[in-house]
Amino acid sequence: MVNPFFKNAGPFNIEKLLIKANIENKENFKKDKVYNVSDLITASNKDLTFFHSKNYSALALKTKASYCVTLDNLTQFLPSSCKKIIVKNVLLTMAKITKEFYPKSIVDDFDISAKDISKTSFKKKVKFGKNVLIGKNVKIGKNCLIGHNTIIEKNVIIGSNCSIGSNVIIRNTIVKDNVSILDGCVVGKKGFGFFPNNEKNIRYPHIGIVIINENCEIGCGSTIDRGSLSNTIIGKNTYLDNQVHIAHNNKIGDNCIIAGQVGFAGSSTLGNNVMIGGQAGVSGHLKVGSNVQIGGGSGVINDIPDNTKVMGYPAKNLREFIKNNR
């Protein structure tokens, strides 16, 4: 899929790309062109991807990417068809390469193209409050409501029968039908991804988007960050309470209920029919199965299998937690 929010500056000759990103060309790659950067799952045979942890070895084995930035001790998990670019710091290297393909993805400036909705074609199609701004190439379906002081930035797609509250900002996002986004939400801003540096921290480019599927509700003051290379996804019929934070690359399943002030670090996966109590936290790069219940205030730092109830910090089996806290 062509990214509707960020312009791809590629393709690049692989040799020149490595020079631009100041990466040593140890394998003397020369002729091939690389058309895009993608994650292990979505990469095509014209793309470059990355592989930095054994946790993703099963995905690495199946990748179709022509090139992969990786560590020396991980090359064994990649298919022979994938050429290996071996570096010491995979994520920092990918930040440099991604910035070459998408030079504007680092900056999150406001959308200068946005104008008052009363001056657009939506003035007769949408019910709206005061001071609503709409960017270029926005698409909005039938029977939608937009509250006061809300900004919907360029290229955003909103389905039919949606309700967008007041003081909401939406960018880099696709919203499907029958979705409610309540007051004060910010959806689609860049994630909290950077490399500490004493002079100036180095930001990781975020070229992914947010996808909110059908029949969802996003509670007041909630924030959903767009993905870095992959997308941040909210499954069908999932409800977020107020002040929930979904970090970059998270995949939230269908029919989930997430109570107030729950926070997700990046790149975790939540199955279907998951219930999470208020003020719980989920660490990054975890897999939480389907039909899981997580008690309020819990800290999830390990994967949780299907059909499990957990509570506490670190989160443990509910029966064990109750037994140890009588």
CATH class held by domain 115-324? mainly beta
- With 0-12 / 13-18 / 19 or more C-beta atoms within 10 angstroms meaning exposed / middle / buried, residue 166 is middle
Q: How far apart are CA 275 and CA 255, in angstroms?
A: 9
With pLDDT > 70 as the criterion, what percentage of the chain qualifies?
99
Same fold, 12-101 and 115-324: no
208-233 mean pLDDT: 96
Q: How far apart are CA 34 and CA 28, in angstroms?
A: 15
Q: With 90 as the cut, is the pLDDT of residue 315 above it?
A: no
pLDDT, averaged across the chain: 93
Per-residue CA distances from 138 to 20, 94, 115, 165 (Å)? 34, 30, 11, 17
Residue 194: per-residue pLDDT? 86
CA nearest to 215, candidates 187, 252, 254, 250: 254
For the chain, give every domain's residue range: 12-101, 115-324
With pLDDT > 90 as the criterion, what percentage of the chain qualifies?
81
Q: How far apart are CA 272 and CA 235, in angstroms?
A: 8
Q: How far apart are CA 255 and CA 261, in angstroms?
A: 19
- Pick the more confident residue, 107 or 155: 155
Q: State the catalytic residues.
A: 248
237-252 mean pLDDT: 98
Q: With 80 as the cut, is the pLDDT of residue 313 above it?
A: yes
CATH H-level superfamily of 12-101: MurE/MurF, N-terminal domain (3.40.1390.10)
Q: With 90 as the cut, is the pLDDT of residue 243 above it?
A: yes
**By mean pLDDT, which of 38-47, 237-246, 269-278 is the weakest?**
38-47
Q: What angle do CA 268, 229, 174 make, to 5 degrees?
A: 85
Residue 307: per-residue pLDDT? 98
pLDDT level of residue 56 (50, 70, 90 thresholds): very high
For residue range 267-307, list pLDDT tens digits in order. 999 999 999 999 999 999 999 999 999 999 999 999 999 99
- Pick the more confident residue, 60 or 322: 60
Residue 132: per-residue pLDDT? 98
Residue 1: per-residue pLDDT? 59
For residue range 126-170, list pLDDT tens digits in order. 999 999 999 999 999 999 999 999 999 999 999 999 999 999 999
Torsion of CA 246, 145, 255, 186, to 10 degrees: 0
pLDDT level of residue 68 (50, 70, 90 thresholds): very high
- Pick the more confident residue, 21 or 44: 44
Residue 14: per-residue pLDDT? 92
- Pick the more confident residue, 31 or 36: 36
Residue 188: per-residue pLDDT? 97
Q: With 70 as the cut, is the pLDDT of residue 120 above it?
A: yes
Residue 122: per-residue pLDDT? 95
Q: With 70 as the cut, is the pLDDT of residue 233 above it?
A: yes
**By mean pLDDT, which of 201-205, 250-254, 262-266 is the weakest?**
201-205
Q: With 80 as the cut, is the pLDDT of residue 2 above it?
A: no
